[in-house]
Amino acid sequence: MSAESHPESSHLVVVGSTMIDMLAYTNKVPHAGETVIGEKFALGFGGKGANQAVMARRFGIKVSMVNTLGDDVFGDTTLTNFQEQGIDTTFVARTSGASGVAPIWVEPDGTNRIICVPGANNAMTPAQAKSALESLKSYQIVIGQLEIPQVVTTQAFISAHQHGAITILNPAPFAEISPDLIAASDWIIPNETEFAAMHPQGLEPTSDEIILELAAALKTRFAVTLGEKGAALTTLDGRVIRVSAPTVKAIDTTGAGDAFVGSFAVALALGYSEEQALSLGCACASDSVTRLGTQSSYPTPAQAATILASIAG
Ligand code: RIB
């Protein structure tokens, strides 16, 4: 195990999205032209960037968010949520218009279907990312996703490298990724579907060889999430390390991938081994599917400390 840092001296930056999640829990999803009666509804804080920031913050490390919110009530409440969580919002901007929203359908087995409408997230600019990452000091990790313009994430990662930080791209929701963004990503964390979408022949990550070949072709490192089967990462010396996921009863999988990304990044920032980072990601993702909602499904700081202690051995 490498020497671990104290949470207070670790700093992670998320350059990414915010959404207000509109969760409808239903026993049956409608066909085209059909109306169904749902079971339950909840509004919650979401957006892959915000979720990853909140998950990371639960471990007590310093987290800065770089985002643009609209000038609506959703923007106000999202800003308040970040502040209540202790997330640095110095580089959260506001613009006129609507904040991001995400209508989400969740079925009884926890499966979700999500439509993101990015709104103000699309007003983010490369200059905003550059200015934030040049002003912030002493961060170790910068995380991005695909819910804001890719040129913004690319600029953020270039600035992060000038600062000596590690960059992590979560290619979700999947879109063709620009070569510049791939080149600026030290780690890419796709799920099985996103991995297959990145693969030239559409192959899923069913073997070590497939994962290693794509990592070599893209000159990046992968931490691939495999749902109930756990996760796999590529090592610097060309091997694959796998960890299995704890067995749990899923009731809502929304935000589980973000729990993985945020906690994996925290473990790297704290100096844990990459295998421990993979284990922490799996543990937090599995834990989150046992509770309803997105950020509302994440462990409390005390629960997060217990999970971290369990993987630290
Ligand atoms: O990954 C889950 C998230 O995807 C939700 O919070 C939703 O807002 C979308 O961004």
Q: Would you list the DSSP string of 281-300?
A: HHHHHHHHTTSSSSGGGSPP
Tell me: pLDDT of 1 over 50. Answer: no
User: Which ligand 1 atom minimizes the distance to the CA of 258?
Assistant: 1
Confidence at 100, pLDDT banded by 50, 70, 90: very high
Tell me: pLDDT of 313 over 80. Answer: no
Tell me which of 112 and 1 has the higher pLDDT. 112
User: Which ligand 1 atom minimizes the distance to the CA of 145?
Assistant: 10
Tell me which of 310 and 6 has the higher pLDDT. 310
Cα 93 to ligand 1 centre (Å):
20
Tell me what pLDDT residue 296 has. 96
CA distance 55 to 162: 26
Tell me what pLDDT residue 297 has. 97
Helix (H) or strand (E) holding 13: strand 11-15
Residues 8-36 pLDDT 10s: 789 999 999 999 999 999 999 999 999 99
CA distance 307 to 293: 20
Q: Which residues are catalytic?
A: 258
Tell me: pLDDT of 204 over 80. Answer: yes
Tell me what pLDDT residue 289 has. 97
Which residue type sits at 87? Answer: I
Give a yes or no: residue 300 inside a domain.
yes
What tokens appear for 180 in the block?
């510049």
Tell me what pLDDT residue 3 has. 53
Average pLDDT over the chain, rounded to an integer: 96
Is the C-beta atom of 296 inside 6 A of ligand 1?
no
> Hunting for tokens 């809502």 — which residue is that?
252
Q: What is the CATH number of the domain that holds 138?
A: 3.40.1190.20
Is the C-beta atom of 48 inside 6 A of ligand 1?
yes
CA angle, residues 112, 117, 118, in degrees to nearest 5:
120
User: Which ligand 1 atom minimizes the distance to the CA of 104?
Assistant: 7
CA distance 152 to 181: 10
Give a yes or no: residue 104 inside a domain.
no
CA angle, residues 256, 262, 266, in degrees to nearest 5:
140
Give a yes or no: residue 110 inside a domain.
no
Edge-to-edge strand list for the sheet holding 101-106? 40-46, 19-25, 101-106, 112-114
Mean pLDDT of 236-251: 96
User: Which ligand 1 atom minimizes the distance to the CA of 112?
Assistant: 2
Is the C-beta atom of 259 inside 6 A of ligand 1?
no
For a mutational test of ligand 1's pocket, the pick from 23, 69, 104, 121, i.e. the residue with the most ligand atoms closer than 8 A to its C-beta, is 104
Distance separating the N- and C-terminal Cα atoms of the chain: 10
CA distance 167 to 28: 39
For a mutational test of ligand 1's pocket, the pick from 14, 20, 21, 148, i.e. the residue with the most ligand atoms closer than 8 A to its C-beta, is 21
Give a yes or no: residue 25 inside a domain.
no
Residues 272-281 pLDDT 10s: 999 999 999 9
Give a yes or no: residue 35 inside a domain.
no
Cα 46 to ligand 1 centre (Å):
5
| Residue range(s) defining the domain that contains residue 53 | 7-18+46-99+119-312
DSSP symbol at 123: G
Provide the 10 A C-beta neighbour count for residue 110: 17
Give a yes or no: residue 112 inside a domain.
no
What tokens appear for 234 in the block?
């590529």
Cα 260 to ligand 1 centre (Å):
13
Give a yes or no: residue 136 inside a domain.
yes
Mean pLDDT of 178-198: 98
43 Rama class: left (phi>0) / alpha (psi -120 to 50) / beta: beta
Provide the 10 A C-beta neighbour count for residue 174: 15
Tell me what pLDDT residue 262 has. 98
Number of structural domains the chain divides into: 1
Residue 191 DSSP SS3: strand
Give a yes or no: residue 107 inside a domain.
no
Tell me: pLDDT of 2 over 70. Answer: no
